[in-house]
Amino acid sequence: MEDAESTIRAATKITKKTFLEALKANDFGKLKALLVQRKIDVDTVFEVEDENMVLASYKQGYWLPNYKLKSSWATGLHLAVLFGHIESLLVLLDHHAAINCRPNGKTPLHVACEVANVECVKILCDHGAKLNAYSLSGHTPLHLCTKESSIVCAKQLVWRGANVNMKTNNADEETPLHAAVRGGLPELAAFYVEHGALVDSVNAHLETPLALAAYWALRFKEQVYSAQHHLVCRLLLASKAQVNARDEDFKAPLHKAAWNCDEDAMRLLLEAGAEANLLDVNGCAAIQYVLKVTPVRPTARPARCYQLLLNHGAARIYPPQFHKVLESCHACPLAVEVVVNAYEHIVWTPKWKKAIPEDSLERHWDFYHSLFSICSNTPRSLMHLARCAVRRILLSRCHQVIPLLPLPLSLKNYLLLEPEGIIY
């Protein structure tokens, strides 16, 4: 009896191996023969390598042994989609393979979107795949369309009736629009909006797609700014997204752009009506965010960020705290110049000199010499005081009104705090 069972197990193992090899080679003739002869069940589950977790999906918040992350369970349908073998996929479907099964958390349609195979998406949809099925991690197929190559898959799903406003069934509660925005896909974001996506939908943290676009515009690892995310911002603002929407920490999109020291995103938001003085849960406005990150944004132009905010009516740094400006911006004297020139007059204190490292002081000696000379007990120039008087009248309209004044360009730039590299 035991010998017979061993023989059966060995034969089954060989059959599974043959079936798997046929799947990998797209030998659909052999697959069909094995299925017709009923040598193997069409929904047999295989354990295969899956280090990139294309086939697997796990619930959030669970610890997983390492071995589970290197391999996954999958049926023939999942593997045919993974390999992009259309002929094998059709053979399996002709033999009534379970189209919505998820042995390791994803349906075959999830996998098709993950690998961006639009032909597989079409075939699965034609055979009754559930368009809004959740993976074990709570994602619909639309949520997995996060690459440029998968936009065609997302369009197929939406055209066939996928819910464009369905939120993930997990702690994030994000819509497909959130996913497209995070990935910097303006074409897909525009497509979703055209097909009914709520432009101000919020995730579990009350973040709108505009807030995510502003935040993810900085690729932190490379410290470069994404023109694609800026385009998404422009698109969402053109679609009437709320520019001052607040998340659970009371942060507006402008706070997130300021955290990145992203002058392009800040300009877009401010020109669309972002309020420069909104405070977050900690009482910080956007200008404080720029101040915090200036030393760690090597590719940014903080002087432009301060200039933008001040020309849109941002409150100035509290004068007794000005040494913090020097602590953050000592290597960027143009930024210091912009902030200093927003005051009618400010007097230096011993904290200022302590805030400037010796190497910065030496490297920018001419500038800092002018700073300490001007910020003494003597008044600023009449021209500077006139500038401050004009700006005090215009407040948040500086950026609008000053360019329209009948003045020489150099004088307009002066009124708009354009830095010159020295203070006088």
181-310 in CATH: which number? 1.25.40.20
CA 245 to mean position of chain CA atoms: 17
Reported pTM? 0.91
The superfamily in CATH containing domain 1-163 is Ankyrin repeat-containing domain (1.25.40.20)
On the question of a common fold for 1-163 and 181-310, the answer reads yes
Structure tokens at 27: 């030998």
pLDDT of residue 402: 98
Cβ atoms of 371 and 340 closer than 8 Å: yes
What is d(CA 381, CA 177) in angstroms, rounded to the nearest whole number? Answer: 53
Longest dimension (CA), the chain: 107
Structure tokens at 79: 């593997």
DSSP at 395? G
Cβ contacts of 418-423, under 8 Å, gap ≥ 24: 418/307, 419/303, 419/307, 419/334, 419/335, 419/337, 419/338, 420/337, 421/333, 421/334, 421/337, 421/367, 422/337, 422/366, 422/367, 422/370, 423/337, 423/340, 423/341, 423/367, 423/370, 423/371, 423/374, 423/375
pLDDT of residue 63: 56
CA 189 to mean position of chain CA atoms: 12
Listed in sequence order, the DSSP H helices in 115-219 are 118-126, 151-159, 176-182, 186-194, 209-215
Our CA angle for 263, 268, 273, nearest 5°, is: 120
Around Cβ 172, how many Cβ atoms within 10 Å?
18
Question: Which one-letter amino acid corresponds to residue 253?
Answer: P
> What residue ranges do the domains of the chain occupy?
1-163, 181-310, 316-424
What is d(CA 359, CA 97) in angstroms, rounded to the nearest whole number? Answer: 70
What Cα–Cα distance (Å) separates residue 145 from each residue in 3, 116, 179, 192?
50, 7, 8, 12
Cβ contacts of 79-83, under 8 Å, gap ≥ 24: 79/20, 79/23, 79/24, 79/46, 79/48, 80/23, 80/108, 80/120, 81/108, 81/111, 81/112, 81/115, 81/117, 81/120, 81/124, 82/54, 82/55, 82/111, 82/115, 83/23, 83/24, 83/26
Print pLDDT tens along the chain (424 aa): 556 566 667 767 888 899 999 999 999 999 999 999 888 999 999 999 998 889 999 887 665 555 457 889 999 999 999 999 999 999 999 999 999 999 999 999 999 999 999 999 999 999 999 999 999 999 999 999 999 999 999 999 999 999 999 999 999 999 999 999 999 999 999 999 999 999 999 999 999 999 999 999 999 999 999 999 999 999 999 999 999 999 999 999 999 999 999 999 999 999 999 999 999 999 999 999 999 999 999 999 999 999 999 999 999 999 999 999 999 999 999 999 999 999 999 999 999 999 999 999 999 999 999 999 999 988 999 999 999 999 999 999 999 999 999 999 999 999 999 999 999 8
Place of tokens 């497909």: 176
pLDDT of residue 341: 97
Around Cβ 281, how many Cβ atoms within 10 Å?
11
Task: Give residues with Cβ within 8 angstroms of 271, minimum separation 6.
Answer: none
